[in-house]
A and B are shown apart, each in its own frame.
Chain A
């Protein structure tokens, strides 16, 4: 896996194909519409109470994460599973590879999992001679296309049915019409053989229940169940933030997740996996391995505000409602997580040296926080990460150039001097004259040309104070 060394959000945006925002918006608008319908059924008051409960449950779990993870490990082991702890992506990949090598695995099938995207597992498996096939339809498509997910729950959202038909024709050697049902049937035929032949099924999990040692997988395709029951070996790679205390807590989160994600009361499949099969007569895998992935998460926990990044239950509604995401799509964010959650999470996972651009990829409109089912204060977190970029903090050094920081300081100092500010407003009004056309400034020198390249700027015209003083004198 080659982690991005430097994400240039602006350059990525500039290369977004014009059809992508249309495809993205089509899907996100549909999801938001169905979401609103199911929220309306509950009524806003109950929905807000659920969000509050979801927030409290998630925050409590993070505050006692060590306890719940220990409990989870005990219960998974008691159910016959094997638990591994992975400090980082490399260790997680090594663990998975070791388990597979020891069992002579050649062919793997995968259910949709952002954690395995995060650690670049597919690449590592293929490098080691293990074939791996994504079985979630969206993931299957992007695997064929050779790109990462452009949405955390709809990985191929940027592609149209025509794009997909073309892709299938080229890569699968079949004649594929641009018809969703037929495309689905083509994928299904291909996948069915693989499920039966696979030596291992790999999955993530939406939740892990500490009380019972249960992995919970929320999906709309049968592939998740096939991957975790048909092959003799099941390996789940899950971020440590996905633990929930008990089934009661899970119940609240299962009300929030599908409603926020796809506007469903319940997804088509909600699978509960507690250990491998107990007797040879039972169905299911002989072995179940759970890889608990840290990969920077405990570092995020150390700050009370930033910790709330990990409240996320990966519903994707912050992407759906984000005007920035809707105009640029997921790939512009340069890593597997996109949209507001990507701006928060990627920046912290990759560090500001690589991801300084991301906390600024938001107009701070706050729509994400309004919709977030677990009430993550997303704009506040982005503001804090912007500070990390330009001023540095306890966790990382600043990456903004010294000259920029110095000029901000000078500007801030100047605003401490009201006389200078007053002169400044007059000087600007004077300096603008060569550029001014009927009350507008249509072309300005850098850095303001980045404003005027988009739309003209109203002319500077500070005359209120003089007006107010004159008026006060007259009325006296």
Chain B
């Protein structure tokens, strides 16, 4: 059914259609409207049987999800930003134990300084934790990926993180096609756990494993993710058969066939990039874009195939490996078997900085002309940075950077965007 709703509301509906049995969440910022809506559905009896557990922290949220999943329940939670970091130890445990928990991460920046806005630093900080990580381009895909996530998680007995841009998607009210319960039931069979804690048939989960077998356990985690790479395209096909639309899969190429320059990105910025690519194509520039839906496991073969003929690749990412450069760019560069194409990292949109078509035109244009540096910080205020550096040279006690930079900037309330 077509509906015009907020992204969070759409995802809450999709999660409910997946018949979760335990939802746990810590009800404080950073949290999303998703669990608020699910909480209301459980209270009203619309979502049953399901237990909604208010926990005392994000660490507890993931711990409860682990317990529920190990006991054989379909478990779901959501978090963002510092909340994800606070649950990090349990996030690794969920993956290490092979428990098929599904979690939404409404992507936001990580402090300090405090910043509640969107970027991908939170999810990418957990890229090596063993969870599958999927990134949604729009709210329809966010909704669809949650349905696919439960199937993927339970089939492989691995947790799945569905990443959607905080605010930009979670708070955007746009058209979505909400599937019928019968469609979701046809795609997602009841949870049949590979391991279950049952008092009538006691086992232990999470025993100590020493040097004699730890490598093998870790290898199997890696092998399972490689298995996911093989299975995901066929599950996306099945999704299309049942739901009648393309969603999910590993990566999506747009106008890349004869492209000399290919832009790679994750998440909602792909929409703005596609509009920019269309405008540049109209000017005769051979440019295309590759959207990465599945970030973990990294779809190396799909990336290599899509970028094979490109002269240069521009990875536009909302994340920064401080002291190194682009995280996604590094993954892209590592995907080439032989001679790699020129891979440029463009760090953009950190802490909610708007990514505009105007800026994208400029930076992609520079790339197409072969004038782009290895790393670019999009729309960086060089003068502002220069003033801080000058102050640090001039005086020993130069003070906290964030506060002095705000003083330099003056009142920003009058600015739009």
Q: Do the two shown chains form a genuine complex with each other?
A: no
